[in-house]
Structure 1
């Protein structure tokens, strides 16, 4: 594309901030910028700015750049892990249960994954259909799955660490991560790597690469692909249940894999994934037609809790270890046309993306189906999740000479977005009676489809009144078909006192509509002695409890920073920030219809425990029981336990339905607007380059982050439910455990010091990572000296060392060996004397499982060191 000297298309396009695109400026040509320039914040940025040619250190908002080379100097062939190891403000979920095991999420500045907007080439990336129904900071996350972006397709990544909802639309409360793809029309790379954990498991290989082509004059086509595989790991403890049964008439239990470590759930799943992507364009005159997209498939399996021989003795006389299996397809395509008409730039683009997750259970059985019919499948299709997003944008930019130091840059645009989410029911055998063991199937009661439309407009003005002062203001209006209208603002400014010292700051408001998955997910499980799961907030059952449709989150953000360039090749940025989110969406506390041997008030049956109408709250128990009964097809408003018509009698009663003793529990949750939360912190970035002459060049980088989350208030229960005045914690909307997770599962301090040394054909990358203490609370098990008490379970502060050594054995070939977590550091073990010893001792019978040695919320995982080798070919 050709550009005019007076007002270049890229300069104007850099100011085009649409709902899903940060800018239209041409990305840096591959190879033009040196590694030192990138690590010294010298790369040209297109995110968070409307000024062509701006460097990261010159930005009015804090932004960090990661080159593809820097991202590649880690052992894990996954962009999420590479980002987290290099940038302290990013934290990755290290372990997920059930479906979340296959789609670990990341968060920016300790906030929800849903608060970070993910872009590819400035265009909004669609979210995953695999919503997390866990509690804590990752609960409710349905953010894009970055593992479907091929690392070799990336030129560099721009991380805007600033509230930007007014610039880019919702989901940008914490910031924006923009993956800029290569536009090369020649050459390419091939990377082959293999590795594994030092102690056990995690065998990994990846074959990936890209190639640049010029189909015809003025056109470019860059194709990238990756095939990667990662095997199981295991970091759990012995399974005392298996030992018990092996010694009491079931010797076949010893044949279960790993005996006596038969419960393999604590560890990585097995993931086999293939992704292909392209980035293409054709430039003619002042115009460009462009397109990019990807197609990926993920096949993943994770162990679930091992079942005892008594669960389905006819099918599995020695017990069995069920596995959860997902078959996921993810694809996206973008097409656009941009260019220059007169002195006005335009960019029209359309993006469609979809994610389909098919859920299965293998090596399992349905105990009730087997008991009733003498037959049960061993393989179940539990249901499907589907999510799609279609985004259309039009952006216009024009510069006006108003007699100030630089022209007034005016950007305006429109966006229309259509989103869908749905759940498809599984095989009837997967939800019959108690359902498939380890993962109850999604029934027709859970199935449903949801959709909404969003239309937004924005206006952005950027000007320099004087050469040293930049002022940028943005306003955005959005209309949701299901949430109505909102208007958000942002004001950004920077003043350069000298070439060496500048100050910058921002103030903004934000808005995030609930994802369709948060509003529509349903998973109600019925089993022997148990009914539980998640109700959609707007379902009849949730409404009967006083809940209803979710409200949007609203936020207010402030930041202030300093930029220093005290010497050549030395750049220092220091930015403080505060973001307050009101009505943050998360999973609620569990509400019980009844629990164990507690009985209705006034009951005289033997075996019933005393029932305090206030502290244990019989009113809420009856309300929950009635709502769940109605959700299962029952009728009427319950005033007594015995009136339930749809809840199975074996759940309500111990024997023939006459004794009135309650055996089992009804327990439900729903997504709610739970808390008001404040996040405060400071980001530090220092870059320096040392020229050692004959000893080579060293690029030094220090990234630091202080981040403190504070729950400032918990929203009250709906009026239909009763809040205890004696023991309010028993009836809180969000329980104490979740509050501690929100506040203390993200390290307060994180730092990464990196030295990259090059000497001729040899290079070495040394990275030191620091994580301050995190913790959660856990209730001590029965038998423990502090049984029933809440115990602090910490992961103490830790230093981790990463090292990679590389050598160019020929012009196109480089070999590398390295280690992430070189010294095989593990997180602090959970207390043996207070927790694990007594959990292990419980395994005499029944559904008792092995304990986890390590807290699964460890910010750097539970697997120890990972060692790898790579072969790289450049042509």
Structure 2
């Protein structure tokens, strides 16, 4: 099974090519891209770096109501771990690229930097220690397409673009409308999900537009917890959270006369979700003599907006814009108690909240060099960015003594209301000495008010060997600035340590207690990226790409181990701290190397009258290794990172992945097949290190056009009911968890199993 799907997929591609009766229509590779280049009119296959284009129709056709899951099963280089018990990880939806961390992928919307989460993932899951962009805040109904640049591009876009760039292009139509109703349920009878969305475009003046998109989704939780062997009943809630998400998106452009226009776009999202924490046994709290399961509920407001002006003066193009982003999360915890308050304890608490805001001013000039050699383009510009991060303390009862169980909330030892400024300037040049050869170079200098300046550069090349065949390569440097969240986050939470529930304080690196345990000021991550590959096509609807990449990262920022023991207790006691027993903080403790191979193949065309077939296959192989682990400078006996934390960085994501999508249309009927085969991954879910087997999922869909523009479809996700491997050493911790955990937090396929859905869509 491990090798069957890749071979079958490429065999299907070859077969499909042989059977083609007519030339295929436009493919995603023929679409004009705006990511990774400042030249206009470039198609994806003409780029010097690998760029994948995923249409909005392809995303909605998966039947997944959230963007993270859809991309996970469509793109071999993207991973979306389905955390099942950790509140901060399960309720925000970042993705990873090329096996790196979520915050090492830059997310853009219409080419403008998207703001990150205020919520920092401090749980034991993929992306531990990161505050990345929540893709759940962008409604699928608003997306025209997504461009995925698989290459380091910090010299073009600044911090965070170490693994690559995900650029979400919003719909900008001046007419027409679409709507969708979707409902789904797992075969277990839970996880009921309902989605309603709509999008409409309106003309503004002679050439302007206003496009509005709305989406509302409600989902019930799933629970795959095993029976707690201590009490012969299910006590945990392990699965997808209960959630409701409502979003609005706007994209508009208004002509100003001549070649100038005023444009704007934005999103507004309200998101409420909840997760169960660890079960507290009978006798733990006087308020809950039979035991209790605390529920953590983040309530999130997310706003992103950009307004700008574009103009052309002769061949010179100018773009000036101002963007604003805000992510605000308030936390409630209920069905719980603060044991320090005894019988007087409330059972619900306001645990405080976090807010992250970002202001970005961009200015860019671009000039085509049509009369220089065989052509080219030069661009220059600058950027100003202001960020702020604030922690709101919870109510006193939430953090008094031992604190509210499940999440004692926010009570920084020092008030947290921080900000910083950053300035940048860039120069970008592409030139064709001769028509078949494209050379490019970019240089950028960023200066941050808290750690100083950083200069990055990037060189690119593409040589057309013959018509329909080319080789390409890029080499450059990159960096990622330590986020304000990583520098100043402070909270007290319950966490598992070797199967035992403990209370952990996460402290800012500047806190005296953190300093006494080995913390120091954070430095930016530094990277060197190399990518080289082969491009074939498009030839009669067929295209093929193969790329090798190598990424070396120094001074990676990671959340330290939960440091405990006699030395830590002594330092905490001296500082007068009694409400937590272990401490963690952020550190530049490691250097890593990641390399791999990525292959894509596509074909589409007519195979019979009124019958069209489309096939897309992709394969990725990824390997990360630890190059350096720096010792704790204060307490050498307490390593900054242990095996579990290192595995999250190096081996806890699938080592390989194969995807295949096939769709056929015949008259009013259509059918689709999606296959995803995930490789093995290694983690330490409780105490023992375990390698989890690779799994394959198969999705099927059928549709019928019941009226012009109106389609009804049904489908099944995970037809073969694949489930992740169970934890091997769980029986050793029956006294602590009751054997409740079916698997770790790293599974890319989730725990739900087979899921059925129905979809009604309309286009006008």
TM-score (norm 2): 0.93
Distance in 1 (CA, whole Å) between partners of 2:630 and 2:25 is 48
The answer to whether the Cα contact below 8 Å between 2:407 and 2:494 also exists between their aligned partners in 1 is no
Change (3 A) 1:321 1:810: same
Distance in 1 (CA, whole Å) between partners of 2:742 and 2:139 is 34
Q: More displaced, 864-873 or 530-539? A: 530-539
Report deviation, 1:401.
5.4
Report deviation, 1:550.
0.6
Partner of 1:282: 254
Cα-to-partner distance string for 1:607-664 (whole Å, 9 max, x where unaligned) = xxxxxxxxxxxxxx1xx3354345xxx3xxxxxxxxxxx245xx9xxxxxxxxxxxxx
The answer to whether the Cα contact below 8 Å between 2:373 and 2:434 also exists between their aligned partners in 1 is yes
Partner of 1:764: 671
Give the counterpart of 2:146 among 154, 157, 176: 157
What RMSD in Å do the two structures reach over aligned CA positions? 2.1
The answer to whether the Cα contact below 8 Å between 1:135 and 1:586 also exists between their aligned partners in 2 is no
Change (3 A) 1:317 1:513: same
Partner of 1:170: 159
Cα-to-partner distance string for 1:561-582 (whole Å, 9 max, x where unaligned) = 1011284211111111000110
Partner of 2:70: 82
Change (3 A) 1:446 1:231: farther
Give the counterpart of 2:359 among 373, 390, 398: 390
Change (3 A) 1:755 1:531: closer
Partner of 1:708: 623
The answer to whether the Cα contact below 8 Å between 1:125 and 1:144 also exists between their aligned partners in 2 is yes
Partner of 1:226: 215
Partner of 2:744: 855
Q: More displaced, 48-57 or 451-460? A: 48-57
Give the counterpart of 1:333 among 305, 328, 333: 305
Distance in 1 (CA, whole Å) between partners of 2:443 and 2:666 is 50
Cα-to-partner distance string for 1:183-216 (whole Å, 9 max, x where unaligned) = 1111111100000111242110100010111243
Partner of 1:814: 711
The answer to whether the Cα contact below 8 Å between 2:626 and 2:650 also exists between their aligned partners in 1 is yes
Partner of 1:473: 441
Distance in 2 (CA, whole Å) between partners of 1:44 and 1:588 is 43
Distance in 2 (CA, whole Å) between partners of 1:90 and 1:573 is 17
Report deviation, 1:500.
2.1
Partner of 2:267: 294
Change (3 A) 1:409 1:769: same
Please give the secondary structure, in 2, of the residue aligned with 1:732: coil
Kindly report which structure 2 residues correspond to 1:352-501, keeping only aligned pairs within 5 A, or say none. Answer: 352-370=324-342, 374-400=343-369, 403-406=372-375, 408-445=376-413, 447-501=415-469
Partner of 1:827: 724
Pair 1:674 & 2:662 matched: no
Report deviation, 1:732.
2.2
The answer to whether the Cα contact below 8 Å between 2:685 and 2:744 also exists between their aligned partners in 1 is no
Q: How many pairs are equivalent?
A: 737
The answer to whether the Cα contact below 8 Å between 1:433 and 1:526 also exists between their aligned partners in 2 is no
Cα-to-partner distance string for 1:791-814 (whole Å, 9 max, x where unaligned) = x42321222111111110000210
* Structure 1 unpaired stretches of 5+: 1-34, 244-259, 595-620, 635-645, 652-664, 724-730, 781-789
Change (3 A) 1:309 1:45: same
Distance in 1 (CA, whole Å) between partners of 2:370 and 2:272 is 56
Give the counterpart of 2:285 among 301, 312, 337: 312
Partner of 2:731: 837
Change (3 A) 1:856 1:329: same
Kindly report which structure 2 residues correspond to 1:786-797, keeping only aligned pairs within 5 A, or say none. Answer: 790=688, 792-797=689-694
Pair 1:866 & 2:755 matched: yes
Kindly report which structure 2 residues correspond to 1:451-850, keeping only aligned pairs within 5 A, or say none. Answer: 451-524=419-492, 532-565=504-537, 567-594=539-566, 621=567, 624-629=568-573, 634=575, 646-648=576-578, 666-694=581-609, 696-718=611-633, 720-723=634-637, 731-777=638-684, 790=688, 792-831=689-728, 835-840=729-734, 842=735, 848-850=737-739
The answer to whether the Cα contact below 8 Å between 2:89 and 2:125 also exists between their aligned partners in 1 is no
Report deviation, 1:740.
2.6
Distance in 2 (CA, whole Å) between partners of 1:38 and 1:145 is 31
The answer to whether the Cα contact below 8 Å between 1:488 and 1:509 also exists between their aligned partners in 2 is yes
Distance in 1 (CA, whole Å) between partners of 2:667 and 2:627 is 55
Change (3 A) 1:282 1:796: same
The answer to whether the Cα contact below 8 Å between 2:83 and 2:125 also exists between their aligned partners in 1 is no
Partner of 2:4: none
Change (3 A) 1:823 1:722: closer
Partner of 2:12: none
Report deviation, 1:480.
0.2
Distance in 1 (CA, whole Å) between partners of 2:599 and 2:78 is 14
Cα-to-partner distance string for 1:208-247 (whole Å, 9 max, x where unaligned) = 010111243332100001000111111111123334xxxx
Please give the secondary structure, in 2, of the residue aligned with 1:381: strand
Distance in 1 (CA, whole Å) between partners of 2:494 and 2:62 is 44
Distance in 2 (CA, whole Å) between partners of 1:402 and 1:84 is 44
Distance in 2 (CA, whole Å) between partners of 1:754 and 1:209 is 25
Distance in 1 (CA, whole Å) between partners of 2:503 and 2:276 is 23
Name the one with the larger strand percent: 2
Report deviation, 1:695.
6.4
Cα-to-partner distance string for 1:734-761 (whole Å, 9 max, x where unaligned) = 1112223322212221111111101011
Change (3 A) 1:813 1:385: same
Distance in 2 (CA, whole Å) between partners of 1:529 and 1:198 is 33
Report deviation, 1:590.
2.3
* Structure 2 unpaired stretches of 5+: 1-22
Distance in 2 (CA, whole Å) between partners of 1:570 and 1:198 is 38
Cα-to-partner distance string for 1:41-79 (whole Å, 9 max, x where unaligned) = 111111112332221111111000001111111121111
Distance in 2 (CA, whole Å) between partners of 1:544 and 1:839 is 32
Partner of 1:659: none
Distance in 2 (CA, whole Å) between partners of 1:356 and 1:821 is 34
Change (3 A) 1:495 1:556: same
Please give the secondary structure, in 2, of the residue aligned with 1:466: coil
Please give the secondary structure, in 2, of the residue aligned with 1:541: helix
